[in-house]
């Protein structure tokens, strides 16, 4: 077993060096189709997810599909002590990139309580088929999901998916309910 930090560095290097943009695009389309076909997606009325940046699965098509289906979309804003809150993404929401390179909503309007989010789409750079994940190292999602009652889903393209977990888990790690892959 390797440490998450070793896997994280290896994954970031692998993802960054992958210059097969068209393969990434094809894989992302397959991931979106698989996500939208799930009963979890179908049932969800409120969805939490990040606005993607470098080295992440592009979430813009997910946001657009959610809005076309009249689902409400909520995006995170970081606060002190590695905590975060989710705010509704509306047409007039001002988005700015923070010091970590994460796009965040500005203002205080549209805050949603954790228990009111039906589906959380959780980002990461490595996933096991059993639902284990490695995020970007801040522990924000593990903290947020510690008493989260909604469904959790992550999208894993072939670069991010491990059949078996090869890293050491921390006691604070939270498993994801469903890992969506290009195979479904």
CATH of the domain at 24: 3.40.50.10420
pLDDT digits (tens, 9 = 90+) for 95-114: 999 988 889 999 888 999 99
- Rounded to whole angstroms, what are the CA distances from 92 to 69, 89, 103, 105? 19, 8, 15, 10
pLDDT in tens, 9-50: 888 887 776 667 777 788 999 999 999 999 999 999 999 999
Binding-site positions: 4-8, 51, 56, 133-141
Binding-site residue ranges for substrate: 51, 56
pLDDT tens per residue across span 154-170: 999 998 999 888 788 88
Q: How many domains does the chain have?
A: 1
65 secondary structure, DSSP code: H
Q: Which residues are annotated as a binding site for ATP?
A: 4-8, 133-141
Distance CA 3, CA 139 (A): 15
**Which DSSP helix (H) or strand (E) runs through 120?**
strand 119-121
Q: Can you read off the two tokens belonging to residue 55?
A: 């080295």
How many C-beta atoms surround the C-beta of residue 144 within 10 A? 21
pLDDT of 173 > 90? The answer is no
Question: What is the domain range of residue 156?
Answer: 4-181
């Amino acid at each position: 077993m390797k440490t998450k930090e070793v896997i994280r560095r290896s994954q970031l290097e692998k993802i960054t060096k992958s210059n097969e943009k068209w393969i990434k695009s094809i894989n992302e389309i397959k991931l979106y189709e698989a996500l939208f076909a799930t009963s979890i997606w179908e049932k969800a009325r409120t969805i939490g997810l990040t606005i993607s940046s470098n080295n992440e699965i592009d979430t813009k098509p997910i946001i657009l599909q959610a809005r076309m289906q009249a689902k409400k979309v909520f995006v995170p804003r970081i606060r002190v002590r590695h905590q975060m809150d989710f705010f509704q993404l509306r047409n007039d929401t001002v988005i700015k990139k923070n010091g970590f390179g994460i796009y965040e909503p500005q203002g205080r309007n549209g805050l949603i309580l954790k228990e009111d989010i039906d589906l959380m789409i959780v980002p990461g750079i490595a996933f096991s088929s059993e639902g284990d994940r490695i995020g970007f190292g801040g522990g924000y999602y593990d903290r947020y999901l510690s008493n989260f009652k909604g469904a959790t889903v992550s999208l894993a393209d072939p670069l991010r998916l491990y059949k078996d977990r090869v890293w050491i888990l921390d006691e604070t790690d939270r498993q994801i309910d469903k890992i969506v892959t290009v195979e479904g």
